[in-house]
Amino acid sequence: MELITKYMTRNDCYKAGRKINPTGIMVHSTATPGMMAVDWFSRWNKSYQAGEINRQVCVHAFLDDKEVHQYLPWEHRGWHAGGKANNTHIGFEICEPGGFSYAGGANMVGYDVLKQEAYFRKAWQNAVELCVMLCKKYGLSEQDIVDHSEGHKLAIASNHADVKHWFPKHGESMDTFRKAVKVALKAEQSANSNDPIAKAKKLYRVQVGAFANKQNADAMLEKIKAAGFDGYVKYE
């Protein structure tokens, strides 16, 4: 995951400067086909009060198949949920790929699942890695992650369909997303555990012989195995 940090200091949300103690993460998607993460800076780094933008919105990060762009400090109160999740949740947007359109609400028209699968997988992976990073930073688990549509059901967000209108096209859901985050968190934990072999990048090896002739090497390996030890022949 490549994280690029550049705050939207001109956005009124940034200027409001309110802080939160993050207790959750809210996943969104942009509903703006083809607009990638880097592009949102010039779109949203604007002041509503100065009449430069017609929406009062800001989110902590946008990500696509390549990068994660952080636009607000993680502990800054964002304007992404349209509800009280703004007081508790870090919000990020997954950019939707180009090549389709919207017709009425959250209906993706002309969305070619096969063509979009590679983009989706890379963006999904970046989203998982961002969640893992934030869970570790704030002591959260996969259970603390919801999408905008789940936030509405929990009465902490406005009535939006993201990402429920998109993930199922690729056979995924917020449940499988949480599961992927859980697996990734577990993998990191075991890599950081106290198991000295898992921890050590360098290992001490015991060598019992070096032979110019492979038959002699194989004969020694047989002896070692016969004596009840495990071994292998390595040719360098």
| Sole residue written with tokens 């508790």 | 88
The two three-digit tokens of residue 147, written as one number: 């999408």
Residue number, 34 or 209, with CB nearest to Zn ion: 34
Specify the stretch interacting with Zn ion by CB under 5 A; choose among 33-41, 45-53, 98-106, 162-170. 162-170
CB of 88 to Zn ion, least distance (A): 15
Asked if 12 touches Zn ion (CB under 5 A), the answer is no
* Cα of 232 vs its chain's centroid, Å: 40
Altogether, the residues listed in the chain come to a count of: 236
Asked if 165 touches Zn ion (CB under 5 A), the answer is no
CA-to-CA distance for 129 and 2, rounded, in angstroms? 10
Among 162, 166, 177, 180, which residue interacts with Zn ion (rule: CB under 5 A)? 162
Among 69, 148, 152, 182, which residue interacts with Zn ion (rule: CB under 5 A)? 148
Specify the stretch interacting with Zn ion by CB under 5 A; choose among 24-32, 57-65, 135-143, 222-230. 24-32
Phi, psi of 24 (to 5 degrees): -165, 170
CB of 157 to Zn ion, least distance (A): 7
Partnered with residue 76 across adjacent β-strands are 19
CA-to-CA distance for 213 and 211, rounded, in angstroms? 5
CB of 66 to Zn ion, least distance (A): 21
CB of 149 to Zn ion, least distance (A): 8
Whether the bond between 163 and the residue before it is cis, its omega within 30 degrees of 0, is: yes
CB of 160 to Zn ion, least distance (A): 4
Size of the site for Zn ion (CB under 5 A): 4
The two three-digit tokens of residue 224, written as one number: 């070692």
Asked if 28 touches Zn ion (CB under 5 A), the answer is yes
User: How buried is residue 96: exposed, middle or buried, by Cβ count under 10 Å (0-12/13-18/19+)?
Assistant: buried
Sites of contact with Zn ion (CB under 5 A): 28, 148, 160, 162
